[in-house]
């Protein structure tokens, strides 16, 4: 009879779970397709590193306050993984009493496994206790949400988390009851197998002995039977709770990591502007199936929001809440998405589901415009959710379909269209910064080894012109063969693409590629990480294939080759601010630090948030050209973090960062002669012999 009841429970659980998963999968087949089945070995490697290795939780430069929680998750994950064999045993024993996998018999590998299982159950219980402490006592902000944008998390997520923790604790405790009772379920002589199992399971043995001491063998058998039923029924309920809770990530995290973006993280999708029926994402079925999988996979851990400069500075954007709003709306419209008809070959209008989600209905404009595209959220996410592409896709809708964007961007777009730069300065003056420096142009020296792509900031902004002049001094001193485009250079369009004006970006990209390919350019040097990222990662979409080198990489190489030597100019402590588009986007983290540490007298002081977990200056994603409330300025927060190191100077390697850090220092009352912001190239040029 018990076997029949157990069989019915399994069938009911599998049937309900299968129905739920079928609906979730069907939704993914009804949205936009995207190719993610290439480079299988690389995808398997990602699963090994980020799922099995739990890299985002236990490795890296994340703030110390996150590390304890990271190890907690590591032990819970591996506890469940190790105990998977035990789960198989307990379910099969409902039909085949005493079943044990042959390899795990006590006279083979079973003994060591039993010991490991016995210990890991305790480790999981300790980890669960810490989790209970966080939810019920310490209340860390990133779990409960960042008011006002994440208020909904304070109730729903709290109750769900506590329930899941109770389930996990019950599974561990019932495991001890089952094993401990089994060890003492018979009176009389103890078999050799049971004796061995007692030896290999010291904790279960203690539990069993205690139960036996209170009620004898009958009590031990009853406890074992109760442990078996509780364990298996909780497992069946637990797996069905997963798809309707934030713990769906237990099922979806492996495929979400497997289907991660393998293209450079700095590249955005290229829109087909001639054949598309829509020019941005504004309906729930216009997301790709991978973006839907992202929505399914959000763990609600809050790491993304705790690292987001927009959230930290009090803006409306909180990446976690953005993802949950999209996910909840998708669930609400699941039936409609599943019934989405196939798009006819001659369709003149896109097929849409539900309401336009961009605007007052769901995702407010202010949420999208607050993003600096810094990728701090993506770097922090343990299941590799991609946020920036979704935000840019929705920005494309606002700009290209609704013509609805911050008023100041009208001036920026017009300047880029008419003068080829967002400053709006006369294009003919682009090369004026180089007057008197005797720099050849590509027209004069088409065979130069390197093209120095100066960029708009260093061409038109007075403060950043000094950086370009310093880099030229360094390259000339080291004998680098380079040339510039001069008046032939134009903006590469990076700002337009990140803001969402894909049409303007593509026109500027095609124009720039035509010029560069006309000179058969092979190697490009740039000191602007935004130019660096665009030329390196976006331009291959337009047949612009170049070896793009950031100035810090070049100078680091020149120093190692002995082509640059330094004077000793006294002692100076410097803190270095990482540019998001140089560090997080393109892994150029060590070159600037190598340079600073190679200069005699310079001591490098790291901010708490540095490297991959450095905080944005606030200028990325087009924010350079948007107004910001004085009480929500990201650059002021970053400058405060820099001042905590008590430096003599703040070093940067990006013209946008230079502007933001310099303004922030002045806002804190620090004049340039007291505490300057200096580009790494300026520091090198000043220290050279």
The CA distance from 424 to 588, in Å, is 30
pLDDT at 149: 59
Question: How far is residue 46 from each of residues 41, 53, 227, 337, measured CA to CA in Å?
Answer: 9, 9, 37, 30
- Residue 605's H or E segment, with its range, is strand 602-605
Q: Which residues contact 294 (CB under 8 A, 6 or more apart)?
A: 256, 323, 385, 386, 390
Residue 582's Cβ-count burial label (10 Å; 0-12, 13-18, 19+) is: buried
Phi and psi torsions of 382, nearest 5°: -75, -20
pLDDT at 173: 94
Residue 58: half-sphere exposure toward Cβ, Cα within 13 Å: 15
End-to-end CA distance of the chain: 90
Q: Which residues contact 268 (CB under 8 A, 6 or more apart)?
A: 388, 389, 392, 497, 498, 538
Residue 573: half-sphere exposure toward Cβ, Cα within 13 Å: 10
Contact 527, 653 (CB under 8 A): yes
Chain centroid to Cα 148, Å, comes to 23
SS3 (DSSP) at 572: strand
pLDDT at 148: 58
pLDDT at 154: 47
The CA distance from 642 to 675, in Å, is 11
Q: Which residues contact 671 (CB under 8 A, 6 or more apart)?
A: none
Contact 444, 483 (CB under 8 A): yes
The CA distance from 311 to 315, in Å, is 6
| Residue closest to 583 by CA, chosen among 390, 388, 379 | 379
| Residue closest to 60 by CA, chosen among 537, 574, 589, 575 | 589
- Residue 180's H or E segment, with its range, is helix 153-183
pLDDT at 628: 87
Residue 180: half-sphere exposure toward Cβ, Cα within 13 Å: 25
Angle, in degrees to the nearest 10, between helices 289-297 and 388-396: 130
DSSP state of 67: H
Contact 500, 395 (CB under 8 A): yes
Chain centroid to Cα 4, Å, comes to 47
| Full-model pTM | 0.93
Angle, in degrees to the nearest 10, between helices 202-241 and 192-200: 80
Averaged in consecutive runs of 10 residues, what is the pLDDT profile of the chain (689 residues)?
A: 89 94 95 93 95 83 68 90 89 87 79 91 94 86 68 61 91 93 82 86 92 89 93 94 90 95 95 90 95 95 91 93 95 93 74 92 95 95 95 97 95 94 92 93 94 96 96 95 95 96 97 96 97 97 97 97 87 95 96 96 93 94 90 93 95 97 92 90 93
SS3 (DSSP) at 644: coil
pLDDT at 185: 84
Contact 152, 145 (CB under 8 A): yes
Bond preceding residue 385 cis, omega within 30 of 0:
no
List, in sequence order, every residue forming a beta bridge with 526; answer none if it has no partner.
550
* Alpha helix segments (H runs only) across 246-371: 249-258, 289-297, 303-307, 309-312, 319-332, 334-338, 365-369
SS3 (DSSP) at 680: helix
pLDDT at 64: 61
């Amino acid at each position: 009879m018990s076997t029949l009841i157990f069989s019915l429970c399994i069938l009911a659980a599998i049937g309900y779970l299968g129905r739920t998963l079928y609906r979730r999968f069907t939704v993914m087949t009804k949205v936009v397709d995207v190719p993610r089945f290439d480079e299988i070995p690389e995808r398997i490697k990602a699963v090994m590193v980020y799922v099995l290795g739990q890299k985002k939780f236990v490795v890296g430069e994340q703030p110390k306050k996150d590390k304890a929680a990271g190890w907690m998750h590591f032990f819970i994950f591996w506890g469940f993984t190790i105990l998977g064999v035990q789960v198989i045993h307990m379910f099969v024993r409902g039909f085949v009493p005493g079943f044990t996998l042959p390899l795990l018999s006590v006279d083979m590998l079973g003994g060591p496994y039993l010991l490991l299982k016995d210990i890991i159950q305790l480790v999981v219980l300790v980890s669960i206790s810490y989790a209970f402490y966080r939810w019920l006592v310490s209340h860390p902000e990133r779990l409960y949400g960042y008011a006002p944008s994440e208020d909904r998390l304070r109730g729903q997520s709290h109750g769900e988390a506590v329930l899941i923790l109770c389930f996990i604790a019950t599974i561990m405790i019932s495991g001890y009851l089952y094993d401990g009772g089994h060890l003492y379920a018979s009176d009389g002589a103890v078999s050799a197998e049971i004796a061995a199992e007692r030896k290999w399971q010291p904790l279960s043995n203690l539990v069993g002995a205690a139960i036996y001491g209170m009620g004898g063998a009958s009590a031990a058998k009853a406890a074992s039977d109760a442990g078996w039923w509780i364990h298996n029924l909780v497992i069946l309920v637990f797996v069905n709770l997963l798809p309707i809770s934030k713990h769906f990530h237990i099922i979806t995290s492996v495929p979400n990591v497997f289907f991660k973006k393998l293209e450079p993280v700095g590249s955005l999708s290229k829109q087909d502007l001639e054949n598309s029926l829509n020019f941005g994402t504004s309906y729930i079925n216009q997301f790709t199936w991978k973006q839907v999988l992202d929505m399914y996979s959000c763990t609600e851990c809050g790491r993304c929001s705790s690292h987001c400069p927009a959230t930290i500075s009090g803006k409306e954007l909180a990446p976690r809440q953005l993802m949950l709003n999209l996910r909840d709306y998708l669930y609400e419209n699941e039936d409609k998405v599943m019934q989405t008809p196939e798009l006819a070959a001659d369709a003149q209008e896109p097929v849409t589901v539900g309401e336009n989600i961009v605007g007052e209905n769901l995702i407010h404009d202010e949420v999208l415009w607050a993003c600096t595209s810094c990728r701090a959220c993506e770097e922090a996410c343990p299941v590799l959710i991609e946020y920036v592409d979704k935000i840019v896709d929705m920005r494309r809708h606002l700009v290209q379909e609704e013509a609805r964007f911050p008023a100041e961007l009208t001036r920026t777009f017009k300047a880029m269209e008419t003068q080829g730069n967002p400053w709006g300065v006369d294009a003919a003056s682009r090369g004026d910064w180089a007057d008197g420096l005797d720099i050849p142009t590509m027209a004069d020296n088409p065979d130069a080894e390197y093209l120095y792509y100066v960029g708009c900031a260093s061409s038109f902004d007075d403060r950043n012109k000094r950086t370009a002049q310093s880099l030229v001094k360094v390259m000339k001193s080291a004998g680098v063969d380079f040339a510039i485009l001069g008046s032939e250079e134009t903006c590469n369009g990076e700002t337009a693409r990140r803001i969402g004006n894909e049409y303007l970006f593509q026109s500027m990209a095609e124009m720039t590629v035509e010029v560069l390919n006309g000179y058969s350019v092979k190697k490009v040097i740039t000191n602007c990480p935004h130019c660096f990222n665009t030329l390196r990662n976006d331009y291959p979409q337009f047949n612009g294939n170049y070896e793009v080198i950031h100035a810090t990489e070049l100078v680091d190489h020149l120093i190692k080759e002995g082509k640059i030597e330094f004077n000793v100019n006294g002692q100076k402590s410097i803190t270095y601010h990482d540019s998001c588009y140089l560090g997080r986007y393109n892994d150029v983290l060590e070159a600037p630090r190598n340079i600073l540490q190679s200069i005699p007298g310079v001591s490098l002081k790291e901010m708490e948030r540095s490297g991959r977990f450095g905080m944005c200056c606030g200028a990325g994603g087009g924010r350079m050209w948007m107004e910001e409330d004085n009480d929500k300025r990201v650059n002021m927060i970053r400058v405060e973090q820099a001042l905590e190191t008590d430096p003599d100077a703040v070093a940067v390697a990006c013209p946008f960062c230079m502007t933001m850090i310099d303004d922030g220092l002045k806002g804190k009352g620090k004049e340039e002669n007291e505490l300057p912001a200096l580009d790494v190239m300026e520091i090198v040029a000043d220290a050279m012999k």
